[in-house]
Chain A
Amino acid sequence: MTLRFTIIGISVGAASLAAIGAFAQENSGLAEWEKVYAVFSHPRCANCHVEDESPRWSGPHYGATRVHGFAIGRGEDGFGNPGQRCTTCHFETNSPKLHGPPGAPHWHLAPAEMVWFEKSSAEICAQIKDPARNGGRTLEEIAVHVRDDALVGWGWSPGPGREPAPGSAQETYEALVAWADAGAPCPGE
């Protein structure tokens, strides 16, 4: 992806010096976005940013990515269904057991409109910038949320047997800020 945008940048950017500056900024913005996208599209994040009712399971011990077992559903509040709430199994901390349930405060599904699972970089980028689909947040607020929220932070310390999201909460915060400063460019489809 990065390579493709770079080529576009060069071919179009030859038009004028001012344009070169703008494109350079967009290029660096897109590069920052790709760091963010690598995190958001990672299973540790995307498995619970779904548009349907079911969180997903994935990882070396689970075969191909599949819907969460036990007919677990979103429920009315995103915290599961009566009888099987998210917090029936997911507590404040990760189970130390391999294949045990991961844990973090307020374990729940992201609202359906904040869908990342199986979405392209462009689609997620558009969603993040759309206040109607990002919880009415500014980009600054999103960056802080990613840096400080305990449930988001779980993605980088997901417990035994799970691959963490790339980078760290701080690095992703910095990438979001840099991306926003660069005009929050989104990749083309």
Chain B
Amino acid sequence: MQITINGNVRELDVDPEMPLLWALRDVAGVLGPKFGCGIAACGACTVFIDGQPVRSCVMPVGQVSGAVTTIEGLGEPDALHPVQQAWIDEQVPQCGYCQAGQIMSAVALLAEIPNPTDEDIDKAMSGNLCRCGTYPRIRAAVKRAARSMGEA
């Protein structure tokens, strides 16, 4: 089946029931989305389909109806997305495993609400678990990103 991943059309020979996450990681070699729970309870696997956040660990690849964007498609080291830059400026990550998913959720939030309140952040980000407890810095980074995107 054909899937567009980060702007590239890929032909993947997979069972349509396979979760998108494993099609990305084990077949397409796209490793940014991480496996955490397999039941959409931790958010580490978050990707966009046509700009909307999706937990790829439970989405059957056969139901993917639009273009897939992963953390790799968001920005690159020499051209970071403002949210990624804010994450560095606030020194958010510790182990870093959940952060690709956290960043994807933050980008999705800021696309709809450019200046989110603390409550907006809670409602958008509480599905992304972080066992290192980086939440206070994530909150600061979302607000910093909002400011920098507002200025841009």
Interface residues of A (CB under 8 A from B): 69-73, 81-85, 87-89, 91-93, 95-97, 99-101
Which residues 85-117 of B have a CB within 8 angstroms of A?
105-106, 108-109, 111-113
Known A-B contacts A82-B111, A83-B109; A100 and B58 likewise in contact (beta carbons under 8 Å): yes
Cβ distance A76 to chain B, nearest Cβ, rounded Å: 10
Chain A residue, CB-CB nearest to B129? A70
Please state if B126 and A101 are interface contacts (CB–CB under 8 Å).
no
Q: Check A81/B58 contact, CB under 8 A, given A89-B40, A99-B39, A100-B39.
A: no
What are 28 A-B contacts with C-beta separation under 8 Å?
Answer: A69-B126, A69-B127, A70-B126, A71-B122, A72-B123, A72-B126, A72-B127, A82-B112, A83-B53, A83-B105, A83-B123, A84-B105, A84-B123, A84-B126, A85-B52, A88-B46, A88-B54, A88-B55, A89-B58, A91-B59, A91-B63, A92-B63, A96-B17, A97-B38, A97-B39, A99-B39, A99-B41, A101-B40
Contact check: which of B41, B58, B60, B109 meets A82 at CB < 8 Å? B109
List 20 additional contacts besides A82-B120, A99-B41, A100-B58; criterion CB under 8 Å: A69-B126, A70-B41, A72-B123, A73-B123, A81-B120, A81-B123, A83-B125, A84-B124, A84-B125, A85-B52, A87-B54, A88-B53, A88-B54, A89-B54, A89-B55, A91-B60, A95-B39, A97-B38, A100-B39, A101-B58
Q: Which residues of B are at the interface with A, using a C-beta cutoff of 8 A?
A: 17, 38-41, 46, 52-55, 58-60, 63, 105-106, 108-109, 111-113, 120, 122-127
Contact flag A93-B60 (CB < 8 Å), given A82-B113, A83-B105: yes
Q: How far is the CA of A100 from the CA of B40 in the complex (A)?
A: 7
Question: Closest chain A residue to B55 by CB distance?
Answer: A89
- A130 to nearest B CB, angstroms? 30
Which B residue's beta carbon lies closest to that of A103? B58
- A interface SS class: loop
Q: Are B127 and A70 in contact (CB under 8 A)?
A: yes
Give the distance to chain A from B75, nearest Cβ to Cβ, in Å: 18
Q: Which partner residue on chain B sits nearest A73 by CB separation?
A: B123
Chain B residues contacting A101 (CB-CB under 8 Å) are 39-40, 55, 58
Q: From residue A87, how far is it (CB to closest CB) to chain B in Å?
A: 7
Distance from B106 Cβ to chain A, minimum over Cβ atoms (Å):
7
B95, chain A: closest CB distance, angstroms: 21
Which residues of A lie under 8 Å from residue B113 when comparing CB positions? Answer: 82
Q: In whole Å, how far is B126's beta carbon from the nearest beta carbon of chain A?
A: 4
Minimum CB–CB distance for A27 against chain B, Å: 46
